[in-house]
Amino acid sequence: MKAHQTREVIFSGIQPTGVPHQFNRHLPVDLWQELEQVQRRFQDKSVVDLKSELIELLIEHFRPFNAEFSRLVNSREDVEKIYLAGSQKAAAVANLTLSQVKKHIGLD
């Protein structure tokens, strides 16, 4: 089965099969306006151009996360500190919940 191919960048809210995208009703109006701006910007370009720019934007957006991940991969001590802090927070919440349950069932 071949994928739908087109040179035009069109944001109609309709899939190539003619069926409306299910997420359309959840998109805010300002997002549709932004999509129309993107469509105008890429009207004389191909989908490949759009995808290339999108990939660059995604790489740039996730660059800080990638840097932090790389740092943590090489720092076992920092990861253990994060685990310890998380377990302490979880224990505090669990202890509060347990004390409330004990109080409600008359064990406290």
69 and 86 inside one domain: no
Structural domains of the chain, count: 2
Percentage of residues in the chain having pLDDT higher than 70: 70
Report the pLDDT value the prediction gives residue 20, as an integer from 0 to 100: 56
For residues 54 and 87, state if they share a domain: no
- Structural domain containing residue 83: 76-108
Q: Looking at the structure, do residues 66 and 83 belong to the same domain, yes or no?
A: no
Does 42 share its domain with 63?
A: yes
> Mean pLDDT per segment of 10 residues, for the chain of length 108 residues?
52 56 58 77 86 91 95 93 96 96 91
**45 and 2, same domain (yes or no):** yes
Same domain (yes/no): 21, 66: yes
As a whole number of angstroms, the distance between CA 83 and CA 71 comes to 16
* Ranges of H-type helices in 22-75: 29-41, 47-73
Tokens of 28: 């805010």
Are residues 85 and 60 both part of a single domain?
A: no
Asked if 64 and 40 sit in the same domain, the reply is yes
